[in-house]
């Protein structure tokens, strides 16, 4: 939160407030996979969703994450973040194969 006064409150959930207004609530209760269905549907169908703007493939890798977003290979971890443009179809297909174990017969966009 960039500006304003922030606070945390437990009762029984963790509530994050900014300028006296709750902005996030972290509930302690467990969830079932089906509980995430509506939010998943929203992210898949809302026109402004990042996931509708192109192909995204991501996985955990040690202390960070490896992601292909469009033709950009993104590596994040304790050392920071790097982005590499996968310019050729061969580079893109090799990244999917070598980093994710996904063998494609053509480049995806």
Summarised one tens digit per residue, pLDDT across range 71-106 is 999 999 999 999 999 999 999 999 999 999 999 999
Question: What are the phi and psi torsion angles at 101 (to 5°)?
Answer: 70, 20
Higher pLDDT, 28 or 107: 107
Kindly tell me the number of DSSP H helices and DSSP E strands found in the chain.
2, 7
Number of domains in the chain: 1
74: containing domain: 50-100
Task: Judge whether 74 lies within some domain.
Answer: yes
How far is residue 81's CA from residue 72's CA, in Å, rounded to a whole number?
Answer: 12
Task: Judge whether 59 lies within some domain.
Answer: yes
Q: What confidence tens digit (pLDDT) does each residue in 28-57 have?
A: 888 899 999 999 999 999 999 988 888 999
Task: Judge whether 27 lies within some domain.
Answer: no
Task: Judge whether 91 lies within some domain.
Answer: yes
Please give the pLDDT value at position 83: 98
What is the model's pTM? Answer: 0.62
Task: Judge whether 72 lies within some domain.
Answer: yes
Task: Judge whether 83 lies within some domain.
Answer: yes
């Amino acid at each position: 939160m960039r500006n304003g006064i922030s606070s945390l409150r437990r009762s029984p959930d963790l509530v994050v407030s900014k300028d006296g207004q709750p902005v996030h609530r972290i509930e302690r209760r467990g969830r079932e996979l089906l509980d995430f269905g509506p939010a998943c549907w929203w992210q898949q169908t809302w026109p402004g969703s990042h996931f509708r703007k192109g192909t995204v493939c991501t996985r955990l890798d040690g202390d960070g994450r490896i992601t292909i977003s469009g033709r950009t290979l993104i590596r994040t971890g304790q050392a920071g973040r790097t982005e590499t443009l996968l310019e050729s179809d061969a580079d893109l297909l090799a990244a999917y194969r070598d980093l994710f174990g996904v063998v494609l017969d053509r480049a995806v966009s």
